[in-house]
Amino acid sequence: MLQLDMMIDGQAVKGTGTIDVINPATGSPFAAVQRATVDQVNEAVQSAKNAFASWSQTSDSERQTACNKLAAAIEANMPELMELVTKESGKPMGGLNGVGAGMEVGGSMAWTQFTAGLELPVDVIQDDDNARVEVHRKPLGVVASITPWNWPLLIAIWHVVPAIRTGNTVVIKPSPFTPVATTRFVELAQEVLPPGVLNLVNGEGDVGGALTTHPDIAKIVFTGSTATGRKIMESASASLKRLTLELGGNDAGIVLPDVDVKEVAPKIFGACFHNNGQTCAALKRLYVHESQYEEMCSELAKMAQQVKVGDGLAEDTELGPIQNEAQLNIVTSLAESARADGGRFLTGGKRMDREGYFFEPTIVADLTDGSRLVDEEPFGPIVPVIKYSDVDEVIARANANERGLGGSVWSSDTNKAIEFAQKLECGSAWVNQHGTIQPNAPFGGVKQSGVGVEFGTYGLEEYTSIQTLNIAK
């Protein structure tokens, strides 16, 4: 079984025990990582604090070069990293519509390269006979990164690279379900970065709590559940730490009555089911006009019945397992609740009879707002299709949810779709697509889907503080 150490101050470190990492396609462990103590969390933070003194003073070009070297390290080790991502997360190597481990590792490389090239130049807001006033962006200090299990390596890159690019140092704690690929990346990064710039500790709630409450942490970046995000925000308040919280969503997609159902249905299916529905910005509530409701339900059900589900290491697999048993139980509970609410199961609806954490791709019709499956985020391969009759009313229904990460409008009239998309209360609104993200476009949520944004210069700025320099003439 693969054994991996933690990384503190550039050195491989043992803990007081190990955490088994389960391959969700088999339900059996394939790796083990070291478990940190609270004292080791403190050592990692101190190491990052010590390294910040010099790393924050490196030139912009030096940090850019370092980030480009990190991208090159990812590229050089892509086959290994892909296999680790598949074994720990369950996502296929290729995946439905190419959304799999290859996309995750390739995206990690691409995001690193793009972020390396970003700059935050000095902004001169006055230069006259009286004064020169400049606005400078300065690194914050030690950043705590806490990552989830659904896109373990890619989200680690989203956290770590902008922090390092802007002169911060990092202590990362990956999800105990999926720490392997991230640990391997941190090992590779030690060949590029000075000791202490990037540290890694493993553990569960006690380790996360020690990290988020530590007085020497300047910023916390967290991707995960809203409940955990609230706890992190509370713990950060004692020392007014900076926060970026991406807390998931329950994204609505609204299909207007003028669409060609057969044309858009495959795109909608992909938006719902890529990564087995385990993506924050997946389409999770589909509202379809009554005039096309049955046709859309039928098309989606056909695709759910035909999609290839299996071990992600198999070449033809499109959808893998749910990542962990606890999440499988949540999806199962939501399916049972949907049955009790009178949901019409067009396909799927139960755990698959095989080893691992597999659940049948499921389409449920005839539910409405107020059902748990509509109101809650399932984070799995189950989607409710909801009938509506009035477009203005359905916008209000989509907005009534407490989440606000993303949303989409589907129409043959692009201008009409844009008009309605702008009425959605969400951080990202898509037209005739859903869940598309890119490294130059800011991404984040409103309401209880989070605080702050990631990506591009908007996201880079969140790893800095502003210093206004006012020079008298």
Report the catalytic residues.
Answer: 246, 280
Strand pairing partners for 384?
A: 364
Report which secondary-structure segment, H or E, holds 289: strand 285-289
Closest by alpha carbon to 394, among 352, 423, 360?
A: 423
Measured CA to CA in angstroms, residue 462 lies from 68, 121, 124, 221, 243 at distances of: 21, 15, 20, 10, 8
Q: Which amino acid is at 193?
A: L
DSSP string, 359-377: B--EEEES--BTBHHHHS-
Is the backbone of residue 151 left (phi > 0), alpha (psi -120 to 50) or beta? beta
Torsion 326-330-335-339 (CA) sign: positive
First to last CA, the chain: 67
Q: In a 3-state reduction of DSSP, which class is residue 232?
A: helix
274/437 Cα distance (integer angstroms): 14
Closest by alpha carbon to 334, among 250, 264, 263?
A: 250
As a whole number of angstroms, the longest Cα–Cα distance in the chain is: 78
Residue spans of alpha helices (H) in 137-253? 152-165, 180-189, 205-212, 226-236
Report which secondary-structure segment, H or E, holds 8: strand 6-8
Angle at 111 between CA 108 and CA 116, to 5 degrees: 125
The bridge status of strand 344-347 relative to strand 406-410 is: unpaired
382/386 Cα distance (integer angstroms): 13
- Residue at token pair 């589907």: 410
Query: Is residue 460 a contact partner of residue 138, using CB atoms and an 8 Å limit?
Result: no
Name the token pair of 414. 């692009």
Closest by alpha carbon to 241, among 468, 462, 469, 8?
A: 462
DSSP string, 375-429: HS---SSEEEEEEES-HHHHHHHHHTSS--SEEEEE-S-HHHHHHHHTTS-SSEE
Name the token pair of 129. 């006979």
Strand pairing partners for 137?
A: 466
